[in-house]
Amino acid sequence: MALTYQQSKLVKDTIPALREHGEKITTIFYKNMLRDHPELNNYFNSVNQKNGRQPRALTSVILSFASNINHISELIPKFERMCNKHCSLGIQPEHYEIVGKYLIMAFTEVLGPAMTPQVHSAWEKAYWLLAKMLIGREAQLYRDFESWSSWRKFKIDRVVPETEDIYSFYLVPQDGKKLPKFFPGQYISLRVNGPEGYLQSRQYSLSEAWKPDYYRITVKRDEGARYSNSVSQSYFHPGVVSNLLIDSMPAGTLVDVSHPAGEFFLDTNNSSNVPIVLISAGVGVAPMVAIANEVVATQPNRPISWIHGSRKSVPFEEHITHLRRTNPNFHTNIFKTHLAGSDVVGVNYNYDFRMDLAKVNPDDLHLNHGGTEYFICGPEQFMLEMSDYLKSQGVLTQRVHFELFSTGDLAFKHQ
């Protein structure tokens, strides 16, 4: 049942307090809920709990929901991303009962007298309005997953170094059954035993077009946030699962894997031949390889332009070079900030500085084609900058796609 006008107004009236205290609310929410339900640590990213990213992401969701309480349809893209991630983690309807209880409790603790019985009732109703929408969509996704709606055992068949800190893992299903198809650009969740005694899951883009007998993911070592001064250099909150995979999980190791999911993908059911521009940095190359391989194999006449930024080595460099040399519709622009002695301009790189789309031949950006689709994957600041440039050139927002694993949003300057 929808909120009444008065209930909607009460929810909206809390927005200033949420902006001021939102992160405190969500931090208290996670602390109390995980204290009373430690088993839920198996679902949450321990690193993002420590660095504050998870509370900030939840704050963003709550604020967006409150601000659009009368126009919820505008939040569908964010909800779709949330639902896909929830299904990749195995979130179930009963989890929403727990979350709702502790979220309202945190509201009450922080907002104090402002959380009147009327406001409490309005927010409780608003929460369940949102929860039922998410539960309904997640039920649809689980049905689409058919018999693979939980975790499935895979064996790491081989590990291939792509650069000095990026590795590809070939994953083979232990049951030997044929793997379901997916859209290039989607991800899987991979679950391992974490060092603190709880299961830890992370999302990794599939870096190869669909194959019936294996999936491939490409993983970068995560050293964490760097802090340095004149005396020393250290790292805070290094990655857990990615580093475990690289350091401690050789070929033969068994891992849990979820069904492919994600709203960032090339729709292969659409036979459109409009140009595609892939823009990536670092390990953001992973979903782009899957998209490029699929298009080259099934639509060889479709124009593809790949623009990639890297500090040193380029992942899949030989493969990308092969695609360029064997497909006249495949163009590349490679930016490198640290050149090696063997690097040759025009052969394995084009620009010896940080990525700048303004330096790319406009024909390779296909800016004059009103239907060009742009796919961007890399660090969030990188994606923000690339998006801002495209929008400054008149590219419509709906033609720009991002790979975001968090449930928060990028703060685009032009929106």
Report which of 88, 103, 327, 292 is spatially closest to residue 187, judged by C-alpha positions. 88
Residue with tokens 């939040």: 75
Tokens encoding 124: 């409780």
Helix (H, G, I), strand (E, B), or coil: what is residue 285? Answer: helix
DSSP string, 1-41: -PPPHHHHHHHHHTHHHHHHHHHHHHHHHHHHHHHH-GGGG
Tokens encoding 159: 């590990």
Order of strands, sheet of 276-281, starting from the edge strand that comes earlier in the sequence: 330-336, 304-310, 276-281, 373-377, 400-402
Annotation says 96 is catalytic = yes
How many alpha carbons fall within 13 Å on the CB side of residue 394?
A: 8
CA 337 to chain centre: 25
Report the first-to-last Cα separation within the chain, whole angstroms: 31
Pairing of strands 215-220, 152-161: unpaired
Q: Which residues of 214-232 are buried (b: 16+ CB within 10 A; e: fewer)?
A: bbbbbbbbbeeeeeeeeee
Q: Report yes or no: 88 and 188 within 8 Å, Cβ to Cβ.
A: yes
Question: d(Cα 16, Cα 116) in Å, to the nearest integer?
Answer: 16
30, 43, 96, 102: the catalytic one is 96
Pairing of strands 152-161, 254-257: antiparallel
Helix (H, G, I), strand (E, B), or coil: what is residue 110? Answer: helix
- Within 103-179, strands assigned E span 152-161, 166-173
Locate all alpha helices (DSSP H) within 255-354, ordered by sequence: 285-298, 317-326
Report which of 99, 51, 405 is spatially closest to residue 227, judged by C-alpha positions. 51
- Number of Cβ within 10 Å of residue 413's Cβ equals 11
Question: d(Cα 378, Cα 268) in Å, to the nearest integer?
Answer: 23
Element (H, E) at 219: strand 215-220
Residue with tokens 């802090």: 227
30, 43, 127, 138: the catalytic one is 138
Question: d(Cα 163, Cα 313) in Å, to the nearest integer?
Answer: 6
Q: Which residues are catalytic?
A: 96, 138
